[in-house]
Chains A and B, each alone.
Chain A
Amino acid sequence: MDATYTASEMMTVAAARALGNDDICFVGIGLPSAACNLARLTHAPRLTLVYESGTLETKPQVLPLSIGDGELCETALTTVSVPEMFQYWLQGGRISVGFLGGAQIDRYGNLNSTVIGSYATPKVRLPGSGGATEIATSCGRIYIVMRQTARSFVKKLDFVTSLGHGPTGRERREMGLKTAGPALVVTDLCMMKPDPATMEFVVVSLHRGVTPERVREHTGWDVRFAADLETTMPPRADELDALRDLNARTARAHGAPTAE
């Protein structure tokens, strides 16, 4: 790995590059928020960001710690109520990209953010859906950003919080959903896209210095690689500068280091 940037920075930069000026993006806290704001500060200044607290077209100067920090409201075009957010704007089909993560993902992009272990007697009780369940089915398409480990990229989810392409990759189509579902997974090791025939996520690009063996070790299913496997372009200097400035501003604003 190149010593001039971290795997986390590579992940955030790669996720940011997937967003364009015409996207209307529903943003979650954490890695998605960093990626979306990096995109806005670099190649996609007209990218529209929407947070589930009701802030439309928000342009935060620092990354919010919560989904409803005052910064989001103060820099937004307008702020609507939470019912309006979910009814008119999300359910109404006005969001082109939803960014999600989770504790577990399977090969078809289904996500678990509810429990590890059984639901009735969980080993780990996770926060739960929040907006994710309906974000997953109402946004035009879904990008997923997660750190890749064999414990999080699993053969079978303990619980399906948010539908990807379904337990066998076919259910989403069979249910007649009009939205595309998960179209991209960005990790600290690689990028994956669904095979159009099976909807199984396959590795399309390895970040520089990452071997296929390393990706296999960090994946709980028998992961496949695209025939024309690429190497992800490393972060450019301007991308790294913008991300580090953003993280430094954020850490100062929150009184403690919080960002990646």
Chain B
Amino acid sequence: MSVFVELREAVAQMVQDGDCVALEGFTHLIPFAAGHEIIRQGRRDLTLVRMTPDLLYDQMIGSGCATKLVFSWGGNPGVGSLHRLRDAVEQGWPQPLAIEEHSHAAMANAYVAGASGMPSAFFRGYRGSDLASVNPNIKFVPCPFTGESLACVPALRPDVTIVHAQQADRAGNVLVQGIVGVQKEAVLAAQRSIVTVEEVVDGFEGVGTNAVILPSWVVGAIAVVPGGAHPSYTHGYYSRDNAFYLAWDAIARDRERFQIWMREHVLGVGPDVFRDRAWPQAADER
């Protein structure tokens, strides 16, 4: 059964140096507050798994948390490069970063395999792509019935998955709405899980019968962090801060400017700052 804890405690208990960690959220519901907590706690040698590393992994890689990245699209969406990711791959700064590179279809299928307790995933993919020649975790096997050559990748089984979601109820069940991405699969694929939520409610009133709900018995820790996905967003709560995604390009381009920004906005603060970042107008009025 899930337990409600402070974010600091959840990360301290569940994320260890050397772990394989997936912080998921497909553009939507990216658990920034939890990632920042991992940076503050100085975790090292992590294998970071995410379909789209996004600004959060740019920050974690630039802070020296990771020695390996498993991913399928490493850009700043609609803006350009992730400069900290590029600096690690191209120049080895702040340390070399091994990469295991896939396509979105492969990562999605690999999460499904992990959630399903399967050793690997089969799908129609990677045909004619050089990715199979640089990633030994991409194989091809014939379908035993038709003979068609199918791509095969190992299941993703993170030590810990962290996601953000809209709500938990008091019994510790979690509701995910909007672009649900691979949130459910990533949690079910992991040995342990942390979910940050916008708020706790008495019950999930008014949601449809087919809503995406993670029962309390598949969730580890729940931490309440209003605004915890900012500058990503939480459908129904606050919008994606596209202006910040644009601004990040200049911040991350320069190592020193990046480090100053991290000191000021991540290392020297706590999860409580996220509420004002997600709702800046409300903060101005207070």
Contact = CB atoms under 8 A, between A and B. Distances in A.
A163 interface: yes
Interface in A123-137: 123-134, 136-137
Contact of A73 (B101, B109, B111, B235): B235
A134 B140 CA distance: 15
B124 A171 contact: no
Contacts, number: 185
B26 A82 contact: yes
A258 interface: yes
B3 interface: no
Contacts of B74: 125, 127-128
Contacts of A137: 124-125, 127-128
B27 interface: yes
Nearest to B245: A65
Contacts of A30: 78
Interface stretch (B6-14, B83-91, B254-262, B265-273): B83-91
B245 A130 contact: no
B72 interface: yes
B109 A133 contact: no
A104 interface: no
Contacts of B77: 29, 65-68
Interface in A243-260: 253-256, 258
A83 B108 contact: yes
Contacts of B245: 65-66
B128 A125 contact: no
Contact of B242 (A65, A130, A134, A172): A65
Nearest to A159: B130
A154 B82 CA distance: 25
Listed residue (B79, B82, B180, B184) with the most chain A CB atoms within 10 angstroms of its CB: B180
Given A82-B51, A119-B134, A127-B73, A68 B103 contact: no
Range class of the B interface residue count: 35 or more
B185 to A, nearest CB: 6
A215 interface: no
Chain A, interface size category, equals 35 or more
Contact of A129 (B26, B104, B127): B104
A140 B243 CA distance: 36
Interface string A165-177: 0100001100101
Contact of A128 (B101, B108, B126): B101
The interface centre, meaning the residue of B71, B128, B178, B245 with most chain A CB atoms within 10 A of its CB, is: B128
27 contacts: A29-B78, A54-B26, A54-B181, A65-B79, A65-B242, A66-B77, A70-B233, A72-B179, A73-B179, A82-B51, A82-B104, A86-B123, A91-B125, A114-B101, A122-B89, A125-B74, A125-B86, A127-B73, A128-B71, A128-B72, A128-B75, A129-B129, A131-B104, A132-B103, A160-B129, A163-B129, A166-B128
Given A53-B179, A54-B180, A122-B89, 10 more contacts: A65-B246, A68-B28, A81-B185, A82-B181, A91-B124, A91-B125, A122-B90, A125-B86, A134-B125, A258-B246
Interface of A: 29-30, 52-55, 64-70, 72-73, 79, 81-83, 85-87, 90-91, 110, 114, 119, 122-134, 136-138, 159-163, 166, 171-172, 175, 177, 253-256, 258
